Chain A
Amino acid sequence: MNTKKLAVGGILMLVIAAFVAGMSFYRKQTQTAQDQTVRTEQTRLVRIHSPVLGPQSAPVTIVEFFDPACETCRAFYPIVKNLMAKYPQDVRLVIRYAPFHQGSDQVVKLLEAAKRQGKYQQVLEAVLQAQPTWADHGRPNPDLTFEIAKAAGLDIERAREDMARPEMQALLAQDVEDLTALQVKQTPTFFVNGRSLPSFGPDQLAALLAEEVAKARR
């Protein structure tokens, strides 16, 4: 090894190290900034209209910013359900909508119409189950969800009427305003009692939830 080769190797190592250090610094900083925003904008996390799964007065609240057309939201649904089953008395899930995909807003309205008929969870699960059929990225076809919801027991005529109500649009607009203010850019985004995940992943969610449940039980 001559000095030229050592110099090239050394500079390469240095730049890679700077990249990695910069990455962790940047991520930490954005997370701190978001946590701060969430603290000052507490009221934006849960709205009266937001659907709640689990016991209404549970001490620990998971807020999930959710897009019915998002594959990762679909994959996380059973994970979150299992976590809630682990703490049946302590945890509730509040669903907020982040209609980032094309056509998602229509499906969100359908879910809200299902809530009015008391069939929220059934329709949600059916729609997620069938997501690959209607949420194809190249050709999304949200109209298919009407059939899916009907098969899940929804009164479609009534649902269509409810979906056309102006308060549906207002609800959607409120959720979009809140997610913008809270700097939510991806789905799913979770907040457990207002705290964000240190990094995204099911294990991180489970750990944060366990921590908050332990805190609540003390």
Chain B
Amino acid sequence: MPSARGEHDNPAPPRPSTGWAWLLAAWAVALVSTFAALFIGEVMGMAPCQLCWYQRILMFPLVVILGMAAFGNDRRGAIYAMPLVLGGVVVAAYHSALIAGWVPQWWIPCGSGPSCSDQRLVILGDIQIPWLSLLAFAVIVALLLVYLRKTRS
């Protein structure tokens, strides 16, 4: 696609006319997850364990990346977010497997701070926080895949 400035590559961001709602939904999931994590950590005072920190590291930037992408209707944001989201799925899946007892305990990469396989990672009765994290990352992957497919040129 030749641009107005006559360059060979395309400097203008791709702004698809459809599918934006999927991108917005992915961002909204990341936003709610981030604030929920902050609520559990800062307001309820549950100290994040090491694996929780890695999931936070992968989740928090999504609010910015997907937020900017949704704000400017920029398809590239969904692609740039992908490595973070996929990393998040891996860490959250490992963490969920750990609390389910599917992974041997001695594998836990825990230093100081609360133990990662500890039962204190439970809110609202007995919902495990790592499950929620896995769910959030998986939903974001699904939404972004639908978005990318719908907006493929």
Whether the Cβ atoms of B31 and A15 lie closer than 8 Å is yes
Query: CB of A26 within 8 A of chain B?
Result: yes
Query: CB of A150 within 8 A of chain B?
Result: no
CB distance from A179 to the nearest CB of B (A): 16
Q: B20 — which chain A residues lie within 8 A by C-beta? A: 4
CB < 8 Å neighbour of A4 from B31, B35, B45, B70 = B70
Q: A15 — which chain B residues lie within 8 A by C-beta? A: 28, 31-32, 35
CB distance from B147 to the nearest CB of A (A): 14
Q: Which of B1-58 contact A (CB under 8 A)?
A: 20, 24, 27-28, 31-32, 35, 38-39, 43-45
Q: B130 — which chain A residues lie within 8 A by C-beta? A: none
Whether the Cβ atoms of B28 and A11 lie closer than 8 Å is yes
A141 to B47, CA, bound (A): 26
Given known contacts A15-B35, A18-B35, A23-B39, is B70 in contact with A8 (CB within 8 Å)?
A: yes
Most chain B C-beta atoms within 10 Å of own C-beta, residue among A8, A9, A26: A8
Whether the Cβ atoms of A12 and B24 lie closer than 8 Å is no
Given known contacts A4-B20, A8-B70, is B35 in contact with A23 (CB within 8 Å)?
A: no
Total A-B Cβ pairs within 8 A = 38
Query: CB of A19 within 8 A of chain B?
Result: yes
Q: Which residue of B lies closest to A11 (CB)?
A: B28
CB < 8 Å neighbour of A19 from B24, B28, B39 = B39
Given known contacts A4-B20, A12-B67, is B35 in contact with A27 (CB within 8 Å)?
A: no
CB distance from A2 to the nearest CB of B (A): 9
Query: CB of A165 within 8 A of chain B?
Result: no
- The A interface is mostly helix, strand or loop, or mixed, namely helix
CB < 8 Å neighbour of B24 from A7, A22, A26, A185 = A7
Q: Which residue of A lies closest to B35 (CB)?
A: A19
Query: CB of B80 within 8 A of chain A?
Result: no
Interface string of B62-104 (1 = CB under 8 A from A): 0000010011010000000000000000000000000000000
Given known contacts A19-B39, A27-B43, is B24 in contact with A8 (CB within 8 Å)?
A: yes
Query: CB of A215 within 8 A of chain B?
Result: no
Interface string of A168-187 (1 = CB under 8 A from B): 00000000000000000100
Whether the Cβ atoms of B73 and A4 lie closer than 8 Å is yes
Q: B31 — which chain A residues lie within 8 A by C-beta? A: 11-12, 15
Query: CB of A5 within 8 A of chain B?
Result: yes
Q: A19 — which chain B residues lie within 8 A by C-beta? A: 35, 38-39
Whether the Cβ atoms of B70 and A22 lie closer than 8 Å is no
Given known contacts A4-B70, A18-B35, is B24 in contact with A11 (CB within 8 Å)?
A: yes
A-B contact pairs, 13 of them (CB 8 A): A4-B24, A4-B70, A4-B71, A7-B24, A8-B27, A11-B24, A11-B28, A12-B31, A16-B35, A19-B35, A19-B39, A23-B39, A26-B44
User: What 17 additional pairs, Cβ within 8 angstroms, besides A8-B70, A23-B43, A26-B39?
Assistant: A4-B20, A4-B73, A5-B71, A7-B24, A8-B27, A8-B67, A8-B71, A9-B71, A11-B27, A12-B67, A15-B31, A15-B32, A19-B38, A19-B39, A22-B39, A26-B43, A26-B44
Q: Which residues of B contact A (CB under 8 A)?
A: 20, 24, 27-28, 31-32, 35, 38-39, 43-45, 67, 70-71, 73
